Amino acid sequence: MTATTRHLGVLDTAFLDVEDADPHVSLAIGSVLVLDGPPPDHAEFVARVGPRLLSLPGATATVRRGPLGAPELVEDHRSSLDHHVRRVAATAPGDDAALHDLVASIMEQRLDRDHPLWECWVVEGLAGDRWAVVLKVHHCLVDGVGGVDLLTALCTDQLTTSPRGVRPSTPSPLRAARRVVRGAAELIGAAVPVATSSLIGPIGARRRYRVVRASLPEVAAAGRAFGATVNDVVLTAVSAGLRALLLARGEPPYARAVRALVPVSVRDERTGLGGNAISVRLPFLPIHITDPLEALDKVHRAMRHRRGTGESDAGQAFLALARHACPRLLSSGVRLGARLPQRSITTVTTNVPGPRHELSLAGRAVAEILPYVPLALDLRTGIAALTYQNHLTIGITGDRTTTPDLDVLATNIDHELHRLTTLATPPRQPKAIRTGTAPANGDPGRRLRTTTSQRPSDVSTSGS
């Protein structure tokens, strides 16, 4: 991280304030790199990876409150890798369950505010001659997309990287104003409480963590087949998983019971690597719809509507106005709001595109990357999807006390992804006995597809 001292942004500060308001919350985001073994010893790992860790934004700076209450990153020359780089062994037999439990244990612990807000855990003893690295960074320093950029920088010979993002567009002032007004109306409307369910409520300090894996080419093909995006397919699977979770608890899956907070990246050339550059969309998930294609169409239409309303533009405009408020008063307001029960958002679901090329760390190939999203504000579940090479991994976080049945959610997300990818795959037709004989029923897969005038992108960029 660079040695330049900088003030934290409004959203960066809000993540600190939300954590301060609730002793049960640890607002660190995580990435778990699973690598082919054997792992390097501690000295080799520190020698090879330590300098890269210290080069990442915020790695040698601690958070301090300024005279007016605005937090800033202050260079801390006492920073030591001995505090930040740690080593632990997974419980035998080192399978997925052991890794998931260890990740939950690492991520639920708060980062020490007296030190730079990150940790790097080396996990040895995984099955299949593998090991892992858990990179844990406070959300006030980086968002999901920025976190993946940091990972990419860490796993390359280059110690810095250019931030991902699109060149900022410049719409006409009138058009921009209209979008902000429409988006503001949508955001205000999202304050209406959702139907009561066990998915929202006070949370404890302990966490559960599970992972669902899928083939990215297969999920992307399902999106294309039915006129949707990868993000739409993931949200549809999450919707099915939450419906199954409620039904298993004996609760009805009401149509307006699950409003998801879907972070959207607004990172561009001017943003840089550090900090948070996100806005939000707040769609209802169709947990009341059992047909997978009908649910996918519903999700796709909802996300397309949210894009068109300017909801993200309004979120950015609100943050821009907040920059002019008194930092101390703004922080007090955020902390007070975080202590109050909220009944408007049910879960957070983020989807971050990762590297399509293979990464390596300390001379070992990165086999997969697992994402972790923290919980706060009465949200008892959180879902983070991340793509890497041809893999799609979905990390699911649950409150340990109130969500002992997190496996139900994970199993049914996996099941719905399989259903959608299977429906998108045309059945193989038997070879015709005589030349020129065509299948009698055509392609059943094509009859299921919804019509669309555009071919949407396979992966939509969001990020917590």
Contacts 24+ apart (CB under 8 A), 290-293: 290/243, 292/236, 292/240, 292/416, 292/419, 292/420, 292/423, 293/226, 293/420, 293/423, 293/448, 293/450
Residue at 242: amino acid letter: L
d(C-alpha 265, C-alpha 166), whole Å: 10
Contacts 24+ apart (CB under 8 A), 86-92: 86/119, 86/120, 86/121, 86/122, 87/42, 87/121, 87/122, 87/124, 88/121, 88/122, 88/123, 88/124, 89/123, 89/124, 89/125, 90/123, 90/124, 90/125, 90/126, 90/132, 91/125, 92/125
Please give the full DSSP string across 90-126, using - where no structure is assigned.
PPTT--HHHHHHHHHHHHHSPPPTTS-SEEEEEEEEE
> Collapsing DSSP states into helix, strand and coil, what is residue 204?
coil
Does 139 qualify as catalytic in the annotation?
A: yes
Q: Which two tokens stand for residue 391?
A: 């893999």
DSSP summary character for residue 271: T
List 84, 100, 139, 300, catalytic entry: 139
DSSP summary character for residue 351: E
Q: How far is CA 143 from CA 187, 202, 263, 391, in A?
A: 21, 24, 10, 21
Q: Which two tokens stand for residue 26?
A: 């640890």
Q: β-strands 71-75, 6-7: how paired?
A: antiparallel
| Catalytic residue list | 139
